[in-house]
Every structure is written in structure tokens, then in C-alpha cells.
Structure 1
């Protein structure tokens, strides 16, 4: 074996094998892209319930990328070094369509992925959510807050499913010594969002581009904090690379708070046109305010968002403008 072959074998041996469940979704596709850029072998797992092959079509020619159609509620037998568990529909329209399956995806999916991590001794990251805080009575929300969640409401399949998944992660950590990482994602936006996912950023942009009235639920004074997708993915990678004793949960989101009405007006100004604001009743259990305290992420990971809302919205508007023109 010559020196060139030995160097090639060393590179192959040192290349991390990373699995991303929900890898064809909005966040998952960006994560797969980043991991490939970082020199990983990437196994993307998705059942295409809310994800789409279009999100990862540009990755298919990469020899270090592999796509498997699989539902995480069933066991998967592969060999991996790291697991990012993102599988679960994340928008109300999608997760309320089949709420039983949503709960199973969070709970059974966590059990199956934790079992895989235990067998392969892989590090595993759980993509949890700010929805574990419910309609919070503490503002901004910090990780020590236990939440204010309706366990029997129409959002419970997602909220409680994610809370139970966190429970399972920490029980595997305590009982089996598994290396876990738990991040709580706050509102994230960017290219490859589903145009019909019912989330405010994609809703407002698509309505404005089509010249439709922009629908605001409630009085528009409820608040959200919007994190651009590239910033979030950077947080994921830093969390996975953190020391073993850094388990989380850690909030990841943009602490700059906006009202829903401010977001709608910003999108209108950016897109132009003659769309008007239309107000409709607030859905059940819709949180009145959402803002992350990211002190822990700053101090532990040296992470905070860099992309300002206007800059991120410009890229997202450009994506949807091209998408709708197809």
C-alpha cells in the first residue's frame, strides 16, 4: 500500500458516520448539507410525511450522502457514530392531521433512536422544542422553567410528545450512561420551509407574494422570536461537539422579540403589493408570548444568532419567490 492509499484509508476511517432522522425536512436538509461540508458520512432518514426529496435532491450525487425511507416508530439497524433526532412534524397543520402518529413519532421514535445509540455507543441529539413551555407564565423562558402545558388540548400531541421524549433521553442518560444532547428549538425560518405548513413566516410570505390578504390570528400583539436556519444549525453542531457533561436542555433561538403584526408589516414592506391584514380568532392554546433566554447557550457553547430578521427574511422571500414561479 503506497502513501496515497494509506492517507485515503485514514480519511475514510476518520470520517464520522452521522445519521439525521427527519433529514429531508426543513431543518434536517440544512443539517445534512452542513454535515457534508464538515466532512461527515451522512445517512438521511425520512418517511416523507412532511419532508420532501426536493429538499435534498442536490445532495444525492454526493458519494458521502445516503437517503433511506424509514419511519422512526419502527427500529432501524445501522452503524453510526452520531445521531441527530429531528423526526417529527413541527407545524400545527401537519402534527394535528394525525395526532396519534405525531405522539408515536416523538415517543416511539425516541425509544428506537436511543436504543440504536445505546447499541452503537453513539452520541445522540434530540431536537426538542420551545413548545415544552406551553403558553408560558414566565418570560423570557429559561431552561429551568417547567412549563404551562395543556395535556389534553389539540396541540398536546406535539407538546407532550416532545416532553416525553426529553424524559426518555434523560432516563437513558441516568440509567445507561448514554451521551445525550437536548436542544429546545424556538421559531426558526429560512429557505425550504414548507409553503403550506401554517407557520407565520411562510404563511405571510406566501400570502404576500400571491397578493392574498395576510391572515393574523388574534390581535397580532402576541410575540415570537425568529431564528434564521443557518444560526440554528450552527448551534446544533456546537452542541453535538460539546463535552460529555453538557447534556442540556439548552434553548436555541433568537432572543429578539417581535409581535406577529410587526412581522406581517415587515414582510408586506419587503414584498410590496396590495395585500391587507385580516384578523381571525386565535386558535386554542396558541401561546401569547415566546422568547428564549439563551444565556446557557452563550456561556456553554459560545453560541448566539448572527443573522438579523430583515436579512434572513430577504433570503426566505427570495426562496419562495422562486418556488412559486416554478
Structure 2
């Protein structure tokens, strides 16, 4: 369940990421500083809530690594914190990761600057390693939900290219497949970036797991014809009451799943749970540039002058969710996270 990684951070501090906009073609991009890191997150070179947090943590280190004294370090830290937080507002892992780096610097201000910088670097690797462990724990916890070989629908990409580990929802599918508990995976293409057909299908191919790509609009007929046993998705933010923000289209899937009596599961690390929010009714939903709907990789998909509205995420209310799976266990209704 591996063999590919969305990034490399070398002993010499070379930070190289795979540009996920071009997958399944492999195109690498070198991130040399804070501005490069912010661009990579904002422009979807890297994506997936856990991976965004990890990349931000390493970008934070790049931003402060050359500080000569505490004043310079604190200024670089504030700049990194502010700029990274501004890249994408919805996924909470980003905020969690940069706050972890900021607090580490504040709590170790009594140390020599060079030691603080080393701690920031180590913390970035720690966040990465913790995510990989969390992925495996999630996958193991989820097995109790598989009472037979399952036909699963999944949305967007929640695998190695979203977390750096085996993945959240897709990690569960990979792990269950190893236990011979997956009959087939339906991969919705996930417009407008096609993370499903480009990235999830790529990962399933590498794992030799049986799958079919379907259009986003086919989810209803798949359930109507009883071709799906459950839906497993990831999350970008989860409130205390179990409301889930995830890739736009998740809410539609959950509504149809409830209508057709199909189990709907959410998989995410504990770091995705925002316990400062009782619910997500007032969540700031990212609206991305309309060109991302009207064009794809330089190809015009609509007439000149066409307008578009692109919400990147939507919110699925807790009553549509059967279970939330994390590395700590399985939360069930009524959710009290």
C-alpha cells in the first residue's frame, strides 16, 4: 500500500512535490521558500486536507530557517503563519499545522535560535509521521464496518496523494482490499479537477483493486440499481456535532445515500475535527476562480463570456452520516466529538 509519495523533503532541505494537477502524468515542482509553498497550496499543486497541513508545516520551516536572532525568527514566523493561513480557508488541518509550528517557536523562545529552527524542522516531520500512523489506525478501525465484500463509491481523492500515508477513505479501501473485503470501487470523476478519475484511479491501479470510473451525475442510478453497498469519503473539517465539510458533491451523495438506504461513512484524522465549532452552519466555504470550471489544462470547456460559480466544498449535516472514522475509533450518531 505504498511505493509512491506526493513529496520529498531531503536532508539538504530540498522540498520537491508532485504537481497533482497533471496526474497521472508525473511532474515535479521544487518549493524553495514560503511564497512557493503558498502558491503550491493555493493553486492546487498539492491538495487534500492532511497533505496541505503537512506541506504547510514544511513551508513554515523554509520560511524561518535562515533567521539569525529571535526578533528575526518571530517576524518570519508571523509572516509564515499569516500567509499560509490565507491560502485556503476551509480545511482545518492547515490551521492546525501552522498553529503547531507557531506555538512551538513561542514555547521555546528561551532556546538558542538555531535549536528552535531544528525543532520546527523536526515538528514538520513529526506531523508527517503522525499522519501516516493515523491512516493505518483509521483503516484498521474501519474493518468492523465491513460485514461482507463491499461495493464502494468514493469521492474525490483521499489516498496517498491526499495524506502522504495510505490515505483516509481510500486508505480504508486499500486496507480492506488486502483482507479480501472489497468487491469493486466506483470512482466518481470529481469535477472540475477530476481528482477521482485522475488520482484515485491511479492509486487503485497501483494497488490492483477492481474499480470503475463513473460520472459525478451517475451516483443516483448506481444506488437506484443497488450497485453500491456503502459510500466512504474524506473530510476537510468536522464540527463537534458531526457536521462535515468536504469536496463539493459530498452533500448530494449523502442525501441520495439516505434516500436509498446506503451506508455513508466519513474518514478523517482527529486533526480534522474542529472542536471550536459546534456545527458548520456558518463555515466559510472557499469559492475558487470560475476559470477552473470553464477551462481544464488550457482547454476551453464553455463559450467565450460564460460565467460560472465554483464552491470548492459543501457541508453534509450530521444526520446524513452513519459513522465517522478516525485513528481513535468510530464515532456514531448522536455525534459528540
TM over 0.5: no
TM bucket, shorter chain: 0.3 to 0.5
- TM-score, normalised with respect to structure 2: 0.33
